[in-house]
A and B are shown apart, each in its own frame.
Chain A
Amino acid sequence: MSYAYLFKYIIIGDTGVGKSCLLLQFTDKRFQPVHDLTIGVEFGARMITIDNKPIKLQIWDTAGQESFRSITRSYYRGAAGALLVYDITRRETFNHLASWLEDARQHANANMTIMLIGNKCDLAHRRAVSTEEGEQFAKEHGLIFMEASAKTAQNVEEAFIKTAATIYKKIQDGVFDVSNESYGIKVGYGGIPGPSGGRDGSTSQGGGCCG
């Protein structure tokens, strides 16, 4: 299927916060509580539409355990968006956000859009991190923020799409040189305004990048 852009996303965060479940909810619209734990990285993909343009999201779902950090770092390369996930019922997963963020800042491109997700918001009775704290952290670090639930699907769609919309806006604003794939954006066939509707960024792209 043709797309105007392909965005690479990476999902990061401590083990057991629900990264794979968020992905599955987004790509397959189902919740599978007994998903096998992720070793290395798993992939998912879905097509969405932004500004009437088909956009393909290629999503990298990573293993969360500390020991695998050195491998996970190699996955940041060329990601346009990141979902940084914590579990609102486990305080420590929130406390580790700073270290995840530092990894992302160090190994991803500086313009990567980061969405902070407080997952498992259906478990409000076991909440250990308040919404305000999440908001505050996001604000301090320039992240977009949402609480979501992979189980009830609340805000899952929104989180992925809002991230894409932000990236799309950055393209429109000329923040990215879309011909440079290290930004995690590929230009696809069709859907691109401009004289040749070019591929691979060899021709001018909508939004007038780089000037």
Chain B
Amino acid sequence: MSMEATELQDLSDDADYAASQQQGSASMMRSDSGKRSLQSEHEDAVLIYLKDNVAIHPTQFASERISGRLKLTKQDSVLFLSWIPYKGQTSNAKLSEKDRSLYTITAVPFTEVRSIRRHTPALGWQYVIVVLSSGLAFPPLYFYNGGVREFLAMVKQHVFLARSSEDQNVFIVNDFQSPLQRTLSSLELPSSLPVASGQSVYPLDGGSSSENQRRTSSDVGNRVSSVSQSGFRKQKSHDPTRDLSIHLLEKFSLVTKFARDTTTQLFSENNGFGSIDKRWNNQPVHSYPEKLSNIAEEKHHEIRHSYSENDLLKDDEISYIDVPADPLEFDKLSLMWGKPRQPPMGHKERRNDISPSIKCRISTEYFTALLDSEGRVVESKALRERVFYGGIEHQLRREVWPFLLGYYAYDSTYAEREYLRSVKRMEYATLKQQWQSISPEQAKRFTKYRERKGLIDKDVVRTDRAFEYYEGDDNLHVNSMRDILLTYSFYNFDLGYCQGMSDYLSPILFVMEDESESFWCFVALMERLGPNFNRDQNGMHTQLFALSKLVELLDSPLHNYFKENDCLNYFFCFRWILIQFKREFEYEKTMQLWEVMWTHYLSEHFHLYVCVAVLKRCRSKIMGEQMDFDTLLKFINELSGHIDLDSTVRDAEALCIEAGENGAASIPPGTPPSLPLDDGTLYPQEDDVL
């Protein structure tokens, strides 16, 4: 099916396309088509719907929105959805072709679509979210000229579309109640679909990456669409996978050179990482095992050398290769760069012969040294770097967390923070008063409040009760937790309360020890992570999607394994991401990990690299034991309490550096914990939010 390949050419020389850019044409619906390019070359693919000026909003910046064309086509009685961004439409240089192709949806068959959610707000643009049966969701598609209703009507003419009984804005595709019908419908599926679910956005060719490698050597410079014997679409001009392979070849020549020259100074600039970053953006592929292992050896020595120079650490303190030996682990060398952790910030300054209160003061003094005379953090990057590489002594967390969370501005003075605290204390009291003043008579008529309160009451006594700070009946800290959550559910009534929030609040309250301060730190955290708790789970889906892209980039064998075993929805990482590993580590370790992640030092999405690091470590077990989805889910669940934090963070750091810009480009803008896209409403939800 070279239909997609044709589509690309279609875009560049299509007169309609040019016209539509000028005038933002209305939708065209055709039951048949005189569409030249499709019809002439593919008698069996019929264009049945076309809508221009359908856009995605990767970031909150209007300049970075990507407009494109949404199409429905039908081939062999299967309906396909595609969305192709316009070329060269924006002047914004930041939006590379790679960004565009990241979002391109190339002919997803409706047999792989589970549901379509429509959003038709009274103000603002209408959009739809398409969810695949794998559980992945595409970013919202905004209909600048309206027409969501017509779009759904057109879909409905061609596939079975049922409105969800739970949510009238969700339309379930191919949702046959009768098992017989379901069987019949599955029989109608074509034997090979052009793209696997979840793959469409970031097109992969049919072959493995090693195959890709080999082919690339002859394909370089010959960037034309081609169709392979199997009929699968192979390359197209902006296929990022292909770009990666070309990069890889370039990398290999660099690597060889790199290994020959002893270039210690490469490591010394920018902690040694910036330069590696440029040369080692990509994953070595397993078609070059011997060569790589040699390189690995040489690199290994160099790194040891540079560490001993730069970090003044004894050789034997550093464990370079933490992963178990495995024939598949040719990418071991990628896991060697995670810098050893330092003692927590504030730790070095401690002496053992002084009392705890003095220790605390000295920790604080260490932090104070990073501030100017009026209390501004002189160099926020230095602070974040220090925390990233070693965490914070517990006594000092109370000072530093509000900065990391964004409650305090780094350039605020002591006086300004003092003022902020007092203002915020009053504001908190006012917010709290909102629900505290609800009389029993009013509560009777306020179901949503009663339900939320009931849920929060139930959940706070089920949060970290084994932890001393929260144990026992009538625990005051548990009461504070309840008050904060209930107040938050009024402060952010649209989002409300969702399970998992108490897991975030618990350590914050434990650290801050003050209700108002904890509340505002929690608010700051939810500014970024609130989407995790959105009712449509969009924030979670976006992160799981980004994770799948990162694994694809950083561990293609594992990615291929997940793909073959129908595990690409990454639901087995759900808990990791929802509450940022809170249930996977003991309490103190969780706080360490959080403060490292909250620095956003290497990436806002460091937590996703942590996911990749853990998965990578377990890869040989997962693949060796041929785990299916159920087994994998259970296995991942049972890793809880058995993950070594330090080495995992180091691996994650190494992976993050290794992925470099390609990693960042794999994560759609706006993916939590990036600040949410600004579309007017922070939590657009329609109804029935508890």
Which residues in A have some Cβ–Cβ distance to B below 8 Å?
8, 15-16, 34-37, 39-43, 63, 65-71, 74-75, 77-78, 92, 99, 102, 105-106, 110
Contacts of A105 in B (CB 8 A): 177
User: CB-nearest residue of chain B relative to A45?
Assistant: B634
Interface residues in B251-291 (C-beta closer than 8 Å to A):
none
CA distance A80 to B688 in the complex (A): 31
CA distance A69 to B466 in the complex (A): 28
**CB-CB contacts of B662-690 with A at 8 A, as 1s and 0s?**
00000000000000000000000000101
Say yes or no: is B135 at the interface (Cβ < 8 Å to chain A): yes
CA distance A8 to B536 in the complex (A): 28
A34 touches B535 (CB 8 A): no
The number of inter-chain residue pairs (CB within 8 angstroms) is: 81
B499 touches A42 (CB 8 A): no
Q: Which of B175, B500, B634, B638 contacts A39 (CB 8 A)?
A: B500
Q: Which of B179, B571, B579, B630 contacts A110 (CB 8 A)?
A: B179
> Given that A43-B634, A77-B629 are known contacts, is A68 also in contact with B499, CB under 8 Å in the complex?
yes
User: CB-nearest residue of chain B relative to A40?
Assistant: B575
User: CB-nearest residue of chain B relative to A111?
Assistant: B179
> Which interface residue of A41, A42, A67, A70 has the most chain B CB atoms within 10 A?
A67
Interface residues in B452-480 (C-beta closer than 8 Å to A):
455, 458-459, 461-466
Contacts of B583 in A (CB 8 A): 39
Contacts of B459 in A (CB 8 A): 15, 37
> Given that A42-B637, A71-B571 are known contacts, is A66 also in contact with B629, CB under 8 Å in the complex?
no
User: CB-nearest residue of chain B relative to A39?
Assistant: B575
Contacts of B540 in A (CB 8 A): 71
Contacts of A75 in B (CB 8 A): 633
CA distance A39 to B500 in the complex (A): 7
A74 touches B690 (CB 8 A): no
CA distance A77 to B4 in the complex (A): 33
Q: Which of B175, B463, B464, B499 contacts A106 (CB 8 A)?
A: B175
Q: Which of B165, B464, B630, B690 contacts A66 (CB 8 A)?
A: B690
Contacts of B637 in A (CB 8 A): 40-43
Say yes or no: is B569 at the interface (Cβ < 8 Å to chain A): yes
> Given that A34-B462, A34-B465, A37-B463 are known contacts, is A67 also in contact with B499, CB under 8 Å in the complex?
yes
CA distance A65 to B574 in the complex (A): 15
Contacts of B571 in A (CB 8 A): 71, 74
Contacts of B535 in A (CB 8 A): 66-67
CB A89 to nearest CB in B, in angstroms, measures 12
CB A170 to nearest CB in B, in angstroms, measures 15
Say yes or no: is B54 at the interface (Cβ < 8 Å to chain A): no
B630 touches A8 (CB 8 A): yes
Say yes or no: is B171 at the interface (Cβ < 8 Å to chain A): no
Contacts of A110 in B (CB 8 A): 179
CA distance A15 to B461 in the complex (A): 14
> Given that A67-B537, A74-B571 are known contacts, is A39 also in contact with B578, CB under 8 Å in the complex?
yes
CB B131 to nearest CB in A, in angstroms, measures 8
Contacts of B455 in A (CB 8 A): 15-16, 65
A40 touches B498 (CB 8 A): no
A71 touches B166 (CB 8 A): no
> Given that A42-B637, A71-B537, A77-B629 are known contacts, is A36 also in contact with B499, CB under 8 Å in the complex?
no
